[in-house]
Amino acid sequence: MSIYIVFSIIALGIILLLIEFLIFPGINIAGIAGTFFIIAGIVCGYYYHKDLGNYILLASITCIITLFVIAFKTKTWNKFGLKSSIDSHAPTIAEGPFGAGDTGITISRLNPMGKVLINDKIIEASSLGGYINTNTEIVVISCDKNKIYVKPKK
Cα separation, 35 vs 65, whole angstroms: 14
H-helix or E-strand spanning residue 56: helix 53-73
Q: Is position 87 within any domain? A: no
Q: Is position 10 within any domain? A: yes
pTM over 0.75: no
Predicted local confidence at residue 92, as pLDDT: 62
Residues of the chain with pLDDT under 50: none
Among 135, 118, 120, 119, CA closest to 150 = 118
Q: Are residues 8 and 76 in the same domain?
A: yes
Query: Which range of residues forms the domain containing residue 56?
Result: 3-80
Please state the domain count of the chain.
Answer: 2
What are the φ/ψ torsions at residue 114 (nearest 5 degrees)? Answer: -175, -175
* Average pLDDT score over the chain: 84
- Which residue, 24, 49, 80, sits at the end of a domain? 80
